[in-house]
């Protein structure tokens, strides 16, 4: 599409949206009332704290993470919440983001829910706002508290500041008690939604849909036309990227804070609306997606358990916020239970008789408020759930993640392919080479190469396979058939000072993409390490490959070499294998465990004769010429990610 067409499409989106809003505004007879309502709660009818929060989050992305220079590739690693022993990450994680899409999603969520929460809070003081005074406090102390309360909670600037600072404080709380190296503002977005739900449940659900409209408008303006075709892709299950525990902590924090505010004011929403609003929000935001990481690229989703938890959450919130005041005597009078009991157990008739001394309704001390008790019990359940989800993270985040510099290199080689010849024998045979200085078949040793590790200002970047995932196994837990003792393979990044241990690029991801970049750094600096994979797939499916790393302003280094791959076809009783070599790859011909000969894979349209067998290179294919036939031997790996 030419530039003028794209510009025309964008103008059409803007014109259609503006005209639609103007028409609805003209048709809406209650527009003036709504503007008056906004001005009654906001200074000049504007949610200033919401704008401050959104601006702060955007500023962190642009100027701290470097998003201003690289909008789609910010610096991420040093700004994750790796451990309590790395406070910089804990403080920056809730406001930093993994990419532009991550940022925009949370900004839309902020602009969707924060205005409702700020409207519920208000810029002008209402009954029940402010600090509670103690009856036992001295007159001087009470006067001081009242003065501070009036200054902070009684003035619009103070209330705007409280909302802004409180929102940031909730972000730090979610960072402190979320499992894993979290990053992003989503925990706060869920807290804002929870605060909004307890006061305006249906408005919050409507705003949830309005957020989708905002996303659509943004995408339509940024990419008005998209051309797509069917193609392979790589990625974990969509639900595996959800920080479910951090989102739940944020939501519960928001619900509890909102409940505290509306109880002081004597406000609230009907139970049915509250239950429905919480249920719709929780389902639409995938709070049911409870999952476990099994290591590598494997995950397990507990959809049934998650669905039950969502219904339980909606019920407990509805009870905790909206359970009506109801004395026990009134509840018994409205219930059919006493009548049924009197019919079947005449002796208990006196217990329920209003005029008897044993009647439960005759003693005020026994006539408790069931609604009050239900609300308090539900609140206790919510607090217990919040503490229960936070405690494991607190324990794990206090544990130091070992550097793992030595263990990051696997001491065991990959398993050899099934059947003859022995892969280790092939590797050793090819390693011997011809002894000539220029021999291109003298390979690098198979397995990890310590010389391929790159050190940059405390960071170590290396490639390893089948090593313990120290990020997951920092706390050893085994339950319900799952365990934290899992392994990982790929590009490992460690930094002992920052408590960083992570698989920056998985083996599967690199196999798909062929090359990746790993960004490391800190405040005011960053460096990029490039990682590349090359390989050959033998006929029959076995693959051999090499991994290279390239430091900034440096030459590439071999980081890893896999074992040779043996083709399934046997030629005249001989096996043909492809083995990593010092330069490129070598063809190795063997019989049993005896190597008959080897030579470099020839250049395109070239040939090589080894142990009486002739091999031709046809572009990315290697074939053996056997009589009048051409037998496929191997094919160079191609990468779909680039």
Running along the chain, 642 residues long, what does each successive block of 10 average in pLDDT? 70 89 82 79 90 97 94 93 91 95 94 94 76 52 61 81 95 91 94 95 92 88 79 73 89 95 86 94 92 76 92 94 73 56 56 50 58 88 92 75 46 41 55 41 60 90 86 56 70 92 90 93 93 93 91 90 91 90 89 87 91 91 87 90 58
- pLDDT value of residue 623: 92
Q: Which two tokens stand for residue 159?
A: 């209330």
- pLDDT value of residue 545: 94
Beta strands in 273-396 (DSSP E): 291-295, 298-301
Q: Which two tokens stand for residue 73?
A: 């590739």
- Domain residues of the chain, as ranges? 42-132+153-225+237-322, 335-368, 423-636
CA distances from 253 to 169, 173, 321, 529, 602 (A): 11, 9, 14, 39, 65
Question: Other C-beta atoms within 10 Å of 531: how many?
Answer: 25
CA distances from 243 to 82, 190, 268, 447, 546 (A): 15, 11, 30, 34, 34
Question: Is this prediction's pTM over 0.95?
Answer: no
- pLDDT value of residue 415: 40
Candidates 478, 496, 498; CA nearest to 486 is 478
String of DSSP letters for 50-85: HHHHHHHHHHIIIIIS-TTT-TTS---GGGS---TT
Residue partners of 102: CB distance under 8 A and separation at least 6: 184
Q: How far is CA 556 from the centre of its chain?
A: 32
CA distances from 393 to 316, 386, 481, 490, 598 (A): 24, 11, 21, 26, 55
Residue partners of 446: CB distance under 8 A and separation at least 6: 413, 414, 424, 427, 561, 562, 563, 564, 580
- pLDDT value of residue 322: 86
Element (H, E) at 600: strand 594-600
Contact criterion met (CB below 8 Å) for 243 and 290: no
What is the C-alpha to C-alpha distance for residues 433 and 445, in angstroms, rounded to an integer?
Answer: 12
- pLDDT value of residue 406: 43
Residue partners of 321: CB distance under 8 A and separation at least 6: 198, 255, 259, 262, 268, 269, 271, 274, 375, 378
String of DSSP letters for 426-469: HHHHHHH--S-TT-TT-PPPSEE-GGG-EEETTEEEEEEEEEE-
CA distances from 336 to 276, 356, 361 (A): 28, 19, 15
Q: Which two tokens stand for residue 351?
A: 């217990």
- pLDDT value of residue 226: 80
- pLDDT value of residue 418: 42
- DSSP SS3 for 146: helix
- pLDDT value of residue 491: 94
């Amino acid at each position: 599409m030419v530039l003028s067409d794209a510009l025309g499409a964008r103008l059409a989106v803007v014109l259609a949206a503006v005209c639609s809003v103007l028409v609805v505004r003209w048709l809406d007879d209650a527009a003036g009332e709504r503007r008056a309502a906004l001005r009654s709660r906001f200074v000049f009818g504007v949610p200033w704290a919401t704008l401050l929060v959104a601006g702060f989050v955007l500023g962190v992305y642009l100027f701290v993470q470097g998003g201003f220079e690289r909008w789609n590739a910010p610096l991420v690693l040093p700004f994750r919440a790796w451990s309590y022993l790395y406070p910089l990450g804990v403080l920056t994680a809730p406001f930093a983001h993994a990419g532009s899409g991550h940022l925009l999603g949370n900004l839309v969520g902020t602009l969707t829910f924060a205005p409702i929460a700020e409207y519920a809070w208000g810029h002008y003081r209402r009954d029940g706002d402010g600090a509670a005074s103690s009856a036992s406090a001295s007159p001087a102390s009470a006067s001081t508290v009242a003065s501070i309360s009036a200054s902070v909670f009684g003035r619009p600037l103070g209330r705007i500041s409280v909302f802004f600072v409180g929102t940031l404080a909730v972000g730090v709380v979610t960072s402190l008690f979320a499992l894993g190296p979290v990053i992003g503002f989503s925990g706060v977005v869920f807290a804002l939604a929870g605060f909004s739900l307890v006061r305006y449940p249906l408005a919050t659900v409507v705003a949830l849909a309005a957020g989708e409209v905002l996303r659509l408008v943004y995408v339509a303006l940024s990419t008005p036309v998209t051309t797509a075709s069917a193609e392979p892709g790589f990625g974990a299950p969509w639900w595996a990227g959800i920080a479910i525990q951090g989102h739940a902590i944020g939501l519960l924090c928001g619900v509890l804070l909102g409940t505290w505010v509306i109880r002081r004011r004597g406000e609230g929403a009907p139970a049915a609306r509250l239950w429905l609003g919480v249920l719709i929000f929780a389902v639409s935001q995938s709070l049911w997606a409870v999952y476990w990481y099994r290591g590598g690229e494997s995950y397990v989703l507990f959809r049934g358990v998650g669905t039950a938890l969502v219904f339980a959450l909606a019920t407990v919130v509805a009870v905790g916020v909206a359970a009506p005041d109801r004395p026990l005597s009134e509840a018994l009078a409205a219930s059919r239970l006493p009548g049924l009991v009197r019919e079947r157990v005449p002796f208990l008739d006196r217990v329920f008789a209003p005029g008897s001394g044993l009647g439960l309704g005759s003693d005020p001390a026994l006539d408790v408020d069931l609604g009050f008790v239900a609300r308090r019990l539900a609140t206790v359940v919510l607090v217990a759930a919040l503490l229960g989800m936070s405690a494991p993270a607190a324990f794990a985040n206090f544990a130091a993640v070992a550097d793992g510099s030595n263990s990051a290199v696997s001491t065991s080689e990959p398993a050899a392919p099934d059947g003859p010849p022995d892969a280790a024998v092939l590797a050793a045979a090819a390693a011997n080479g011809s002894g000539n200085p220029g021999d291109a078949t003298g390979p690098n040793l198979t397995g990890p190469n310590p010389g391929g590790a790159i050190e940059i200002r405390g960071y170590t970047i290396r490639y390893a396979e089948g090593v313990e995932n120290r990020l997951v196994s920092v706390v050893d837990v085994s339950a319900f058939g799952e365990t934290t003792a899992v392994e990982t393979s790929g590009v490992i990044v460690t930094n002992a000072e920052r408590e960083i241990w992570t698989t920056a690029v998985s083996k599967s991801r690199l196999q798909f993409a062929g090359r990746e970049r790993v960004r490391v750094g800190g405040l005011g600096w960053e460096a990029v390490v490039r990682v590349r994979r090359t390989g050959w797939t033998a006929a029959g499916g076995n693959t051999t490959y090499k991994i290279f790393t390239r430091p900034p302003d440096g030459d590439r280094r071999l980081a890893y070499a896999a074992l040779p791959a043996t083709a399934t076809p046997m030629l005249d009783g001989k096996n043909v294998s492809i083995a990593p070599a010092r330069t490129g790859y070598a063809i190795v011909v063997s019989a049993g465990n005896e190597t008959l000969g080897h030579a470099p894979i020839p250049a395109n349209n070239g040939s090589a004769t080894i142990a009486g067998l002739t091999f031709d290179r046809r572009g990315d294919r290697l074939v053996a010429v056997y009589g009048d036939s051409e037998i496929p031997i191997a094919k160079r790996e191609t990468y779909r990610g680039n």
